Amino acid sequence: MNVGILGLGLIGGSMARAFSKAGHGVFAWDTDGSILSFAMLDGSVRGVLNEETLPRCSLILLAIYPDGSASWLERNASRISPDALVMDLCGIKEEICRRCFPLADEYGFTFVGGHPMAGSHFSGFKYSRSNLFQGAPMVLVPPRFDDMQLLERVKEALAPCRFGSFSVCTAQEHDRLIAFTSQMPHVLSNAYIKSPTARSHKGFSAGSYKDLTRVAWLNPRMWAELCMDNRENMLFELDTCLRSLQAYRKALEEHDMDTLTALLDEGRRRKEEVDG
């Protein structure tokens, strides 16, 4: 199988390594020519994804920012084989599916929204690895939910990645949930580390600090685009969090030990309810 990959960052690079390791031909494109050259030198990529190689790919993975992925597909849809499966790997789904499903209908190929739930606070091809997705969940947004044959086709196509599970949902449901599980943690971590106290934390911090600040080390442009594209869901989550923080603040300000204890116990019980 020939696989085309747009973007050789952490996700695209790890996809390239996984498919190459499994013996498939990988053709890729990246804005940084030196990254593409290195990927070809180390054997992760066989050649450049271009007008000549694109029609030969039966699986095409879009692993750049959402707008860039959709714009690339709009420019290149006519060159894609009608037998090809095209998937995006972006962190939001509603906007990209809105733009890409009609292209698939018009040109005959199959498009499925995808979001691998794996990653790292480090970005770039140098941190990519062939086993990044091993055991990880994969979220799928298909054009039709009753097409079991398509879902099996997707699972078979992604077999070299060794995902642990597959979930299927609508683009709207994906974006609502991902605002809470992914985008909010990055924003909260990023805001928390801005405390002036952070400069003197060494020697006074352990697991709690490390857990909360890990994803503050992020790709600013990528996360800004993801949050902005999902702004309605993000505003809901931010408003919900701010109301909760105000309750803690009020209890502290009023020396209300009973309320503060109740608030903390409520959070403890909620964690137990949702995670077991």
pLDDT at 121 over 80: no
Residues 188-239 pLDDT 10s: 999 999 999 999 898 888 899 999 999 999 989 999 999 999 999 999 999 9
pLDDT of residue 166: 96
Q: Which two tokens stand for residue 36?
A: 């593409």
Find tokens 């099996």 and name the residue. 152
Residues 37-83 pLDDT 10s: 999 999 999 999 999 999 999 999 999 999 999 999 999 999 999 99
CB-CB contact of 7 with 62 (8 Å): yes
Residue 71, Ramachandran bin (φ over 0: left; ψ between -120 and 50: alpha; else beta): alpha
pLDDT of residue 205: 84
> How far is Cα 247 from Cα 213, in angstroms, rounded to an integer?
23
pLDDT of residue 197: 94
Residues 146-200 pLDDT 10s: 899 999 999 999 999 999 999 999 999 999 999 999 999 999 999 999 999 999 8
Residue 29 phi, psi dihedral angles, 5° rounding: -140, 140
Angle of the 171-178 helix axis to the 231-253 helix axis, nearest 10: 30
> How far is Cα 135 from Cα 165, in angstroms, rounded to an integer?
7
> How far is Cα 94 from Cα 88, in angstroms, rounded to an integer?
12
pLDDT of residue 37: 96
Find tokens 């498939």 and name the residue. 24
pLDDT of residue 139: 97
Within 8 A by CB and 6+ apart from 179, the residues are 230, 233, 234, 236, 237
